[in-house]
Structure formats: structure tokens, C-alpha cells
A = this chain, B = another copy of it.
């Protein structure tokens, strides 16, 4: 025992001295790629993608694989919390230092690809390997997390941050189990789902590495995205009420056609989102006309409106412009237009400014190009902002494609991400973030 500790202490001293920013070990593209390939076996489908929906057999097998890697890396106290999250710790040298947490997920959408979530988990493990191999000892413990059911509603991170609503447990998941049943199936405890919630101030920082799911990095040939935040999502159901009537006997100038009003409104929404300065987006993804027969003028149309932006103010501005146009359209088309706010929306979740600086500095020192950018997609990080200084690292997605077997990030791109993650962890470990 004496020898071991002594050697450890010696090595820590050496490391602190020799491994300056320039000399840090480099992530192995080959090792990361082979782990991605191994992980992709769990739930592989005939399209070359995966059906590894949360709580499925494939999800459970993938989780076992990741836990076996964590064990072989010597992570301590590898466990499944009440929310079904896998957590393992690499201990730090300072018993009083707060943990630095890194997390991502391995569950997929139905018909998903091999990179969404997976790259983050593999990068987290890569960083542990690098620190192990170079005997880098941080003051803070490093907690590695695989969040449960990210794709089905950020379940694991909502549980970890104490925000999961009890009724969510009754929601049916793609696995055929409810979220409660599924949480139990992967080793969680739905009856006490908030018992492992982490209070604000416990963690020193949280970082999530993820594929971009957009095409900015790929098209501009940039290595690293420094995420400014996860956009908020507001969602409405729009009901347009006109007068259903016979498509043959009702002259054009006597129609109160809900479909025509819906078309005007769809174009208005598109124009507003296009013409305002900024990066807001607005989408009409779903529409239904009633009664829905080719020979009947629709008396009612229900359609969805989704607005996303990094700033709630901008989302509110988009919506108020849409509302104003809707009033005008309703008047001109002889219809009424009502907006029902759907309460599955999320608020914009800006990342911590210090974390953005740390990640940008890490990219710069590693010699990689980077840019600040929002995340248009949702991530566990958006929950974590409420309990810890949070940062996100993006790596490129080929063609911006995600939720598809065509997802792709090259081994070199993944390795660059892991390099930045390692440097960011070490920098966080040095800084006082309180």
C-alpha cells in the first residue's frame, strides 16, 4: 500500500509538471472508432443504423457494454441511479473538490444512427483512458454519466436535476414499456425517481460532447462547435375554423375555406422566421383538414407551430408577429384562428459563459478551429444548466444529418472532440468556478 500511494504521488507530481497544454496525450481515432463500431452492434438494423430505443434489449445490452468498459478503466462506484443513469467515478486528489461531470447517452430514436449520443459517451471514456495512460490526476473527481432515455424526453437528466414530473412515468415509450416500467427494467427505481437528484452547487461543472446534428461545422470545415446554449422550443396547436361546404355547389367567392387560411398562415410563419434577423426557426410540421374529403371545403384545419431560438424574447417576438398576421388572415378569409400553447415546451438554456471560454481556449490550444454556435436540438445539457456551470462541445455531422442511419462523424473528428474535452476538464479542474 505504501509503495503504491508513493508511486502515485510521485507520478502526480511528474504529470503536473511535464504535461503542459502542448504535451497532452492525444485521443486515439482508431480506439474511438472501434468502440463506436462495437456499440453499433447493439440494436443494429438492416439499414446500417440502430433501433436502440430506451429500455429495449439493445439499450440494455449497450449499457452493459459501456459499464464493462468503465469497469476495465478502473472507474469506481459504477452504479445505476434511481433515474436509470449509469454513473462511474474517476477519483480526484482533493477530497474537498467538487466533481466534474461529463455525460451523454446511447439510446437512439427508432431507425437512428451510430453517432447521436454515442460519440459523447465514447469521448468521455476516451478521456478517462488518456488520463489513465498518462497518469493525469485531477483534483476534482470526474464523474462519467450515461443518461437514460435521452431521445424519449431527457428522462435521466430530468430525474438527476429533480425536474421529472410524476406523470411522465406513465408515458408509453417506443420500447412498449411506460417510462416508469422502462426505468425499472434498466435498474432504476421509478417509485423514488427523484431520490438521487443533485442539488445546485454540488457539481463543479458539467460538459456534454455531442454531434452537431446540423451542417455548419461540416460545411465550413470547422473542428469544434462551442455551444452557446440549447435553443428553447415553443409549440402551439393552431385551429382554424371556417365553414365546411360542398366543393361543387359553393362558388369561390362564397367560401370560408379553412385550408386557404392555413396556407396563408403557413407562408406568413415562414416569412416571419426568414425575415427577422437572427437564427430563429419556425416550422409547421403537422396539418390535418376536416372533414378531409377531396370534395368538401375544409371547415377546420389543425396545424402545429414550433418556434425555436436561444432567446425567449425572440421566440415571443416571432409568435406575436404570427398572431398579428393570423388576425389579418382570419378577417380576410372569414375564418377564426386560435392558438393553443402546448406545455411540452422548453426554455432556452444558455451555457455558462466561463465554460464557453474554457472550451474555446481548449480548442485553440489543441490547434483546432472552432466557432460559437447554438444547439437547435435538445440535449441533457439543457437540464443540467439548472444545477451546474454547463458547457457543450459539438463535433461535425456529415451533411448535418442526424436521426438517420446516414449519421457520420469521422474518427479524426471524434478524436479532436475528445482532445478538447480532456483539455477543458483539466482547465476546469484548475479554475475556481464558484
- A residues near B, CB below 8 A? 212-215, 231, 233, 235, 245-254, 257, 259-260, 262-264, 266-267, 270, 273-274, 279-289, 291-298, 304-306, 308, 375-378, 400, 402-403
Contacts and interface: CB of A to CB of B under 8 A. Distances in A.
A252 B266 contact: no
A280 B283 CA distance: 33
Given A246-B377, A248-B308, A295 B233 contact: yes
29 contacts: A213-B248, A233-B248, A233-B295, A235-B295, A246-B400, A246-B403, A247-B283, A247-B285, A247-B308, A248-B281, A248-B308, A248-B375, A248-B378, A249-B375, A249-B402, A252-B273, A252-B280, A252-B281, A259-B285, A260-B267, A283-B294, A283-B296, A284-B289, A285-B293, A285-B296, A285-B297, A287-B287, A287-B288, A294-B306
A259 B305 CA distance: 12
Most B CB atoms within 10 A — which of A214, A270, A274, A294?
Answer: A294
B298 A294 contact: no
Nearest to A344: B294
A207 to B, nearest CB: 20
Most B CB atoms within 10 A — which of A248, A260, A287, A400?
Answer: A248
A246 B285 contact: no
Given A263-B263, A267-B260, A250 B281 contact: yes
Contact of A294 (B213, B215, B304, B403): B304
B281 A292 contact: no
Q: Closest 9 CB pairs between A and B?
A: A248-B376, A249-B376, A214-B249, A294-B304, A263-B266, A247-B283, A263-B263, A285-B294, A252-B274
